[in-house]
Structure 1
Amino acid sequence: MFEKGQYIIYGIRGVCEIMDIKTIDRPGGPKGKLYYELRPYYHQDCKIVTPVDSDKTVIRPLLTRDEALCLIDRIQDVKEMEVTEDKQREERYKEALKTCDCHVWVSMIKALYLRRQDRTRQGKKMTDLDERYFKTAEENLYSELALSLEMPREKVVDYIKSRVVDEEQMD
């Protein structure tokens, strides 16, 4: 169980702060059931109430600073997600986001980035579907990394680029 004031990843909602842990008796439901009251970090006007023992949505702790740095240092080794059938594209993206796994998000971002480059070379724009999932995956990943690394979210991309370039120069 997590603690009040702790930041966690809550499904596709991303980074949330645990504002409270309280007992709620719902009509027709079990008595004395514990719930988290969450506030999405980047949507301060929202509130989510979810059972502490819910298995419907992935709830996990944020990456530690060391885990975040390790992920960034291994970004080049992450293979991009393969989607062979266009009809499966959206389903694959949804499933990738639901995993709440940073490595999967990196894989998805890399695949969508390469797809964007390929479409640009062909004189085409990125599809709305691809753009929407690309932004969502980036937002989820960069939000978590920003908190784990204690930096503003808008500086995360440049920080990643600088570390990846430094790694390349060392090889």
Structure 2
Amino acid sequence: MHRANEYVSYGTQGICQIEAIRSIRFEGCSDAREYYVLHPIAQAQSSIFVPVNNPRLTGRMRPVLSPEDIDQVLSNIKGQRLAWIKDRKQRTELFHRILTERKPEELLLLAACLYRHAQEEPKGLSASDAQALKTAEATIEQEFAFSLQLGPRTVGEYIREKLGMGPSAPRQAENGSESPASP
């Protein structure tokens, strides 16, 4: 069970602080229930109420990675690759699953896969692939920057250094949109 004041990664909301665990009775409900009251760090004025006894929703909450966890994740993925899927529908489904589950290893492998493809493909990334890269990078940057106490712009440098990669940026997509630099 999580505790008040703990920071967690919660689904697509990103890093949240658990403000409290309290009994709340919402209008239209007969009984009060225990809820985690979360505040996303990117939207401090927002509140998210997660029922303590709902495993589907509480399963989306996980502790924020520590700096040691981040280094272990980077060590674990060193030398691994996510293969490019040519079928757009299958690729989109896989990318959606990875972006929804927010597992750090998979997010890093997804970003690296898209980054490699952008470098190898003369036309660059499609708009949907560029958006998947942007989302993966933003997710990675938020948690890593928070945990490592780095500026978001320096997270990519940290990752590339740990993985022994060079600092180059992906090509632009044919439609002219720019793909952000990837780990």
TM-score using structure 1 length: 0.83
Correspondence 1:22-37 to 2 at 5 A: 22-27=22-27, 29=29, 31-37=31-37
Distance between the aligned counterparts of 1:162 and 1:111, measured in 2?
A: 18
Aligned to 1:86: 88
Helix, strand or coil at the partner of 1:56:
helix
Correspondence 1:58-97 to 2 at 5 A: 58-97=60-99
The letter of the residue matching 2:126 is: T
1:82 Cα deviation after fit: 4.2
Contact 2:74/2:105 (8 A) holds in 1: no
How many residues of Structure 1 are paired with residues of Structure 2 in the alignment?
163
The letter of the residue matching 1:146 is: A
What is the CA deviation profile of residues 134-167 of structure 1, one whole-angstrom value per residue up to 9, with x for unaligned ones?
A: 111111112112222232222211112222239x
Distance between the aligned counterparts of 1:19 and 1:164, measured in 2?
A: 36
Q: Name whichever structure is richer in helix by fraction.
A: 1
Range that drifts further, 105-114 or 51-60:
51-60
Helix, strand or coil at the partner of 1:50:
strand
Contact 1:15/1:140 (8 A) holds in 2: no
Distance between the aligned counterparts of 2:136 and 2:76, measured in 1?
A: 17
Correspondence 1:87-166 to 2 at 5 A: 87-119=89-121, 122=122, 124-165=123-164
* Runs of 5+ consecutive residues of structure 2 not aligned to the other structure: 166-183
- Cα gap change, 1:84/1:53 in structure 2, threshold over 3 Å: closer, same or farther? farther
1:8 Cα deviation after fit: 0.5
Distance between the aligned counterparts of 2:31 and 2:151, measured in 1?
A: 42
Distance between the aligned counterparts of 2:35 and 2:15, measured in 1?
A: 17
Distance between the aligned counterparts of 2:84 and 2:45, measured in 1?
A: 36
Q: Report the aligned-residue RMSD.
A: 2.1
The letter of the residue matching 1:65 is: P
The letter of the residue matching 1:35 is: Y
